[in-house]
Amino acid sequence: MDIVIDLQPITDFLNLPPEQIFLTLFLYIGWIPIAITFLYGVIQVWLRYVRLAYGASEKVILLAIDIPRGNAQTPKAVENIFSYLAGAHSTKDLYEKWWLGEWQLYFSFEIVSIEGYVQFLIWTPEKYRHLVDAAIYSQYPDAEITEVNDYTEGIPTKYPDEQYDIFGGEFILVENSVYPIKTYEHFEHMMGEPETQYKDSMATLMDLMSSLKKGEQLWYQILVIPTSSSWNEEGEEEIKKIIGEKSGDKNFVDNVLDFILKMLADFSEFVYSLWGDIEDNKKEDKDSQFKMMNLKPRQKKQVEEIQEKVGKLGFEVKIRYVYVARKEVMNKNKVTYGMTGYMKQFNFNDLNSYKPDVGDGGTVTKVRYDKIFGKSRVNWRKTKIINAYKFRSDVRGRMTHILNTEELATLWHFPVEASVKAPLIQKAPGRKAEPPAELPVAKENAARELAFGDGMKPADIFTLEGTASEVKPEVKAPHEPPSNLPVV
């Protein structure tokens, strides 16, 4: 039985006038991409609406962290803090993500200098308050954690402004996130007294922040977003590229090509087998097993460092800084060069490094002058960076990158006092020891000492005018003594 295919309808269709062909195609299939685009837009609008509603329902707080004087803890203690905070990660199902609008909540680790007074802070959803308390107290039992007002309140958010000017931007990685930066372990050496063998990288930042004068403020922010361990696979793929192995990530086209090549290879092997000459192919397979041994020193280092990085917990990270000052005292060069120099301490030329976002990839978050519409674009960028910082936004600006706990602890940790001598870093009054039971004391003086320390509230955050904010300290210790116990 013969099968006859009638192509006359197709021929008749192609012989129609062009405009009639276009109209016919549109009526039959042309509406499909338009419908898909419209449906995608509706979904995105809905998703944005429910996410904003969810974000507005989550209360956030700002915590001032004061550690005791004489801190000798290395950044390893802060690395343990970040590891503990990874417990905030949660996986959302379809109902939670698309109907309730839930997304992964995150933290902001900040250091602020207001007229030379330096304070370490953690911005966190209120639901994670106990998680943060436990993480801090587990490593610093005598620390003081105080809920304070947001120091960004009252700062102009639209520029130009009559009194104030700002400068700032984001720092981005030069290479893929799987390549590590220099961490605190590389700042240790074996010379000198044991307590000074660690040269704290935080010393330069503390010196810069302590040098600010009246009317100047410098804010430093690291958004820390808990994430899954799926980013480790990207590290494994990068290692395969370095050693010359085939990547495991393949699309449909790659699979089709692999199938064709495999068929050709099998046919070639069959032909060679007829001539008894397949030893050369086996030899090539054996040689591929020794690729790692033939790597250059730089490639070996890259493989080892990537494996070391992906072996630890990771977070999605975004780093910003903002310098706010009155126009008459603004010193942009001091701050921008100082912040760039601080971040360059962590650069590995053969691994990874940080640089200011000046627009090499298209997006520009750093405040800088452009030749086209110069002033208006500068003011637009100033407005963007100040609002992104104030709202601790994880979507404004550049995409996030991955850092592990060791790298995060290098960039944000409490200074080791043997290496850092900044005089205006707020610290807790000191270790509280229990007095003898028979010792008479004045409770009023004890309360004043706990609240004010050396004449300053532990969580005083200055406003732009240079005065202390009206805050109610909420100092929580890991173990509160009984109310009837006399204390000194």
Distance from C-alpha of 54 to C-alpha of 276, rounded to nearest angstrom: 70
pLDDT recorded at residue 133: 94
Same domain, 52 and 182: no
Same domain, 45 and 76: no
Same domain, 38 and 70: no
Query: Would residue 467 count as lying in a domain?
Result: no
pLDDT recorded at residue 159: 87
Residue finishing a domain among 264, 290, 307 = 307
pLDDT confidence tier of residue 343, bands split at 50, 70 and 90: very high
Quickly count: other Cβ atoms within 10 Å of residue 99's Cβ: 11
Same domain, 39 and 77: no
User: Does residue 425 register a pLDDT over 90?
Assistant: no
C-alpha closest to that of 484 among 425, 452, 441 = 441
User: Does residue 416 register a pLDDT over 90?
Assistant: no
Number of domains in the chain: 3
Distance from C-alpha of 129 to C-alpha of 81, rounded to nearest angstrom: 13
| Average pLDDT score over the chain | 78
Half-sphere exposure of 380 (CA within 13 A, CB side): 9
* Residues 6+ positions from 265 with CB-CB distance below 8 Å: none
Query: Would residue 379 count as lying in a domain?
Result: yes
Query: Would residue 13 count as lying in a domain?
Result: no
Q: What is the pLDDT of residues 379-393, one digit of tens each?
A: 888 899 999 999 999
User: Does residue 467 register a pLDDT over 70?
Assistant: no
Mean pLDDT along residues 253-272: 64
Same domain, 77 and 208: yes
pLDDT recorded at residue 294: 73
Query: Would residue 375 count as lying in a domain?
Result: yes
Q: What is the pLDDT of residues 88-141, one digit of tens each?
A: 998 888 888 888 888 899 999 999 999 989 999 999 999 999 999 999 999 999
What residue numbers bound the domain in which 255 lies? 233-307
Same domain, 356 and 388: yes
Same domain, 224 and 246: no
pLDDT confidence tier of residue 269, bands split at 50, 70 and 90: low
Same domain, 98 and 218: yes
Mean pLDDT along residues 310-321: 93
Structure tokens at 189: 């050496």
Query: Would residue 290 count as lying in a domain?
Result: yes
Q: What is the pLDDT of residues 434-461, one digit of tens each?
A: 444 544 444 344 333 334 344 444 344 4
Q: What is the pLDDT of residues 209-244, one digit of tens each?
A: 999 999 999 999 999 999 988 888 888 888 888 887
Residue finishing a domain among 247, 272, 307 = 307
Query: Would residue 472 count as lying in a domain?
Result: no
Query: Would residue 198 count as lying in a domain?
Result: yes
Distance from C-alpha of 330 to C-alpha of 340, rounded to nearest angstrom: 18
Q: What percent of the chain has pLDDT over 90?
A: 36
pLDDT recorded at residue 464: 35
Same domain, 184 and 286: no
pLDDT confidence tier of residue 471, bands split at 50, 70 and 90: very low
Same domain, 253 and 391: no
Query: Would residue 462 count as lying in a domain?
Result: no
Same domain, 293 and 394: no
Same domain, 349 and 281: no
Place of tokens 């590290």: 235
